[in-house]
Amino acid sequence: MADELQTRTDTTLADIAAAPDGEALEALRVAALGKKGWVSALLKTLGGMTPEQRQSEGPKIQAVRAAVADAIAARKAAIDAAELDARLANETLDLTLPAPETPRGSVHPVSQVMDELAEIFADLGFAVKTGPEIEDDWHNFTALNMAESHPARAMHDTFYFPDTDAEGRKMLLRTHTSPVQIRSMMAEGAPIRIIAPGRVYRSDSDATHTPMFHQIEGLVIDRDIHLGHLKWTLETFLKAFFETDDIVLRLRPSYFPFTEPSVEVDVGFAVNDAGKRTLGGSGDAPGHGWMELLGSGMVNRRVIEFAGLDADKYQGFAFGVGVDRLAMLKYGMDDLRAFFDGDNRWLAHYGFNPLAQPTLSAGVGERA
């Protein structure tokens, strides 16, 4: 009996010492110390013993229980320590791995170009103004010297609303940013130097026209402003925007009801071997051409009067340029429609880092 107990105890202690993991150890604990375990059964036999038997057997059985319990505790500590070591070994952080690709948004090229223009014109002392996209026909047409019967109104393919406003004015989606000229002059008087970026709408849709597109309006009203100021401003802006001094402008006589004289501005480009256009040089040189870039002119005195200013005292110039077109030229995109598809792959490719604000000192077009 004593030998049998010794053998069983030794086997159990050996099994405990060899238990590979917490689960195996728990099974051994249940088999020995659990309610129906063999050590528990032995302890129960003490109750049926004579006092003398109990005195001799009791300590032996208690010693077995203690030895098994101690062995289980020791093995459990060893297994836990090994598991922790293994986990720590697995969880090491390899700092030489490349940074994870975290999803992030990007700045749309149209927004980027507007930010670049705001930066460039801020340096020239221009403030940024905005006006409503839902306009009335007085601000969009009449005050810009396009009377109700003016043929130029028909050229704009205007989206009209069915209702008029409280003053009986026809409501429309503005067809250009020029109404901001009127709103700014009326609100602030003269002298004034502003740009007005924003969305404009025309009922027109093909590969190079979308019903909504973006313009930036420029307006300078002061004393003694002349065409030379306009040309210098446009040249300075375009050189800063395209980040090259090799920009040659051609001013062509044109017609807008709100400017007199009106000037269409072309920029010279060269065609490289791949057939791609690159800005720079005179468009008259062999292998070169002229590209229409923007409309401008000296503000018509009737417009200055409509805005409530003294046209004998003040004059100025204005220009309007397509932002989408500028973006396509600078960043080499050839399909205007992709601008408005909201395709994340296109945005990931052509978008700009939202944390890299354009600055003149760092270069306005840094993709960073």
Q: Which is nearer to ligand PHE, 234 or 248 (CB)?
A: 234
Cβ contact 133:199 at 8 Å: yes
Cβ contact 327:163 at 8 Å: no
* φ/ψ of residue 237, rounded to 5: -65, -45
> How many whole angstroms separate alpha carbon 75 and alpha carbon 66?
14
Q: Per-residue x/- marks for ligand PHE, 233-272, CB under 6 A?
A: -----------------------x--x-------------
Candidate list 257, 316, 320, 358; residue touching ligand PHE; CB under 6 A: 320
92-120 burial: b if 16+ Cβ within 10 Å, else e:
eeeeeeeeeeeeeebbbbbbbbbbbbbbb
Q: How far is the CB of 293 from ligand PHE (least distance, A)?
A: 11
Q: Give Cα 313 distance to the centre of its chain.
A: 45
Q: Which is nearer to ligand PHE, 107 or 192 (CB)?
A: 192
Which 281-300 positions form the footprint of ligand PHE (CB under 6 A)? 295-297
DSSP annotation string for 84-108:
HHHHHHHT---TTSPPP------B-
289, two tokens: 């051409």
Contact between 126 and ligand PHE by CB under 6 A: the answer reads: no
Tokens 């159990």: give the residue. Answer: 12
Number of residues that bind ligand PHE (CB under 6 A): 11
Q: How far is the CB of 220 from ligand PHE (least distance, A)?
A: 11
Candidate list 201, 319, 350, 352; residue touching ligand PHE; CB under 6 A: 319
Q: Which is nearer to ligand PHE, 316 or 351 (CB)?
A: 316
Q: What is the pairing mode between strands 127-128 and 192-201? A: parallel
Q: How far is the CB of 320 from ligand PHE (least distance, A)?
A: 3
Residue nearest to ligand PHE (CB): 320
Q: Which is nearer to ligand PHE, 41 or 155 (CB)?
A: 155
Which 142-201 positions form the footprint of ligand PHE (CB under 6 A)? 176, 178
> How many whole angstroms separate alpha carbon 311 and alpha carbon 330?
37
Rounded to the nearest 10 degrees, what angle do helices 22-33 and 2-18 cross at?
160
> How many whole angstroms separate alpha carbon 244 and alpha carbon 337?
28
Is 243 annotated as contributing to ligand binding?
A: no
Candidate list 185, 240, 318, 329; residue touching ligand PHE; CB under 6 A: 318
Q: CA neighbours within 13 Å on the CB side: how many for 57?
A: 17
Which 80-99 positions form the footprint of ligand PHE (CB under 6 A)? none
Q: Kindly tell me the sign of the dihedral angle through the C-alpha atoms of 47, 51, 53, 54.
A: positive
Q: How far is the CB of 294 from ligand PHE (least distance, A)?
A: 7
Segment interacting with ligand PHE, rule: CB under 6 A, options 22-30, 52-60, 316-324, 333-341? 316-324
Segment interacting with ligand PHE, rule: CB under 6 A, options 72-80, 236-244, 314-322, 351-359? 314-322
Cα dihedral 139, 143, 148, 149, rounded to 10, equals -140
Please give the sequence-ordered ranges of beta strands (E in DSSP) within the chain, or none if there are none: 127-128, 134-136, 160-164, 170-173, 192-201, 212-222, 249-256, 259-271, 277-279, 288-299, 315-322
Q: How far is the CB of 194 from ligand PHE (least distance, A)?
A: 12
Q: Which is nearer to ligand PHE, 9 or 158 (CB)?
A: 158
Q: How far is the CB of 311 from ligand PHE (least distance, A)?
A: 16
Q: How far is the CB of 346 from ligand PHE (least distance, A)?
A: 26
136-151 burial: b if 16+ Cβ within 10 Å, else e:
bbbbbbbbbbbeeeee
Q: How far is the CB of 240 from ligand PHE (least distance, A)?
A: 20
Which 207-226 positions form the footprint of ligand PHE (CB under 6 A)? 217
List the binding residues for Mg(2+): 260
Q: Which residues bind ligand PHE (CB under 6 A)?
A: 176, 178, 217, 256, 259, 295-297, 318-320
